[in-house]
Structure 1
Amino acid sequence: MTTAILDRLDALPLVAILRGLTPEEAVGVGEALLGAGFTCLEVPLNSPRPLESVRLLREALGDRAVVGAGTVLTPEAVRDVVAAKGQIIISPNADADVIRETVAVGALSMPGVFTATEAFAALKAGAQVLKLFPSEIAGPAGLRALRAVLPSDQRLYAVGGVTPDNLTSWRAAGASGFGIGGALFKPGMTADEVGERARAFVTAWNATQG
């Protein structure tokens, strides 16, 4: 399953971080994101009834998207997300127990790292994708330094402070992809507003391909 998820991410490596999403608006927002080109959606577990949103998105979007949860901090939470049909486990930190549990249940592991020590510990535990978090503190220079010591084919996402205007500089520093939160979705936004912002990110990403 993880190979198919990685293929989906590689096609458009933009993860929509939907912090604060409610189950009532989940499907509408999800469809708007898919309409704009996004195919990977994350519902952080500190959102209202997040597992319900994950389940609803999976049921509505099916194989058209990859849906998972963020802010996953314990192995128990990993199991809860997978029980809700979540496919990807994203964390702000690199907890080896969480990573190992994610791999054991067949989901994709994307932990947050900030240093080379954390990055290599996460990879040793089985992480498939790393996210530099918070990337706005590290900056493109910090990402470039981390990229220099990682395996050349290692997927490394920038998460935090990414906008359509600065996406190109992050790509130039070696970012494989991006997790996008507040610049894409905030509670109270309409699905149309989210879709419009999503299209701006897809346009910015496409401009880096050439």
Structure 2
Amino acid sequence: MIALPPALSGHRIVPVLVIDDAGFAVDAAAALAAGGIGCVEITLRTPAALAAITAIADAGTSLVGVGTVVTPDDLNRAADAGALFVITPGVDREVIDLARERGLDILPGVATATDVLAVLRSGLRAVKLFPADILGGVDLIAALAGPFPDVAFVPSGGVSPANVASYLAHPNVPAVSGSWMAGRQLLASRDVATIERLSREAVALAGAG
């Protein structure tokens, strides 16, 4: 199995949370953890994101990172809030270098072989493939793994219970990223029981990969 950055090592599922109520962040992370998922990516798509990161970081029960990081300012604000890893939708060398300066692991987003080359030139060997399903899913990963056999691909975008096991069956895929176990509506309704159940089901599917 090709390695993930240290902060994400051992995590097979990285749940993506678009959270509107920071007051529910700790309970949401706890429900994911009760279902067997010990990390969470909070996207910078809502005004509540930074407060949610801080709340989870302060609780200390889950590894918390930040997604949708597109500028150095995004990264600095998330690092100050307590994020331990960074996920970006594309490749930005300034953001990558700043993550290193701040001591954060980073998964840059890639969509092409050219993107992968840019990441490799930065010294990294793990990437987020986004949007994975639209780009070709497992077939694209298999194609990219030919010239890049030592790169870890974390698919994101269109990952679901229907394809999570097939993604994780590929030797270049140590983890997947998805939102189905804690979607925005589940978060809005504070449905911890369903989040925990879907997390358990996701972990079981990941074990089949």
* Alignment gaps of 5+ in structure 2: none
Contact kept, 8 Å, 2:19 with 2:48, in 1: the verdict is no
TM-score, normalized by length of structure 2?
Answer: 0.89
Distance 1:21 1:155 in 2: 31
Q: Report the CA distance shift for 1:8/1:80 in structure 2 as closer, same or farther (over 3 A).
A: closer
| Counterpart residue number, 2:81 | 84
Q: State whether structure 2 residue 134 is matched by structure 1 residue 133.
A: no
1:181-200 matches, within 5 Å, as: 181=179, 183-189=180-186, 190-200=191-201
Distance 2:73 2:154 in 1: 25
Contact kept, 8 Å, 2:7 with 2:84, in 1: the verdict is no
Indicate the structure with greater helix content: 1
Task: Give the CA deviation at 1:178.
Answer: 0.4
Supply the RMSD in Å over aligned alpha carbons: 1.9
Distance 2:113 2:90 in 1: 13
Q: Summarize deviations over 1:160-199 as a string: whole Å, max 9, x none.
A: 1112231222123442210112x22222311221111111
Q: Summarize deviations over 1:49-108 as a string: whole Å, max 9, x none.
A: 211000000111x2x432111000011111111111110111111111111111111101
| Counterpart residue number, 1:17 | 16
| Counterpart residue number, 2:148 | 150
Q: State whether structure 2 residue 172 is matched by structure 1 residue 171.
A: no
Distance 1:83 1:128 in 2: 25
| Counterpart residue number, 1:94 | 91
Task: Give the CA deviation at 1:123.
Answer: 2.6
Q: Report the CA distance shift for 1:6/1:96 in structure 2 as closer, same or farther (over 3 A).
A: closer
Distance 2:169 2:37 in 1: 21
Contact kept, 8 Å, 1:99 with 1:127, in 2: the verdict is no
Kindly indicate whether structure 1 or structure 2 has the higher relative contact order, using CA contacts under 8 Å at least 6 residues apart: 2
Task: Give the CA deviation at 1:7.
Answer: 4.7
Q: Report the CA distance shift for 1:186/1:168 in structure 2 as closer, same or farther (over 3 A).
A: closer
Distance 1:147 1:21 in 2: 37
Contact kept, 8 Å, 1:69 with 1:86, in 2: the verdict is yes
TM-score, normalized by length of structure 1?
Answer: 0.88
Q: Report the CA distance shift for 1:45/1:179 in structure 2 as closer, same or farther (over 3 A).
A: same
Task: Give the CA deviation at 1:8.
Answer: 5.6
Please tell me the residue identity of whatever aligns with 1:11.
Answer: G
Identity %: 28
Task: Give the CA deviation at 1:128.
Answer: 5.0
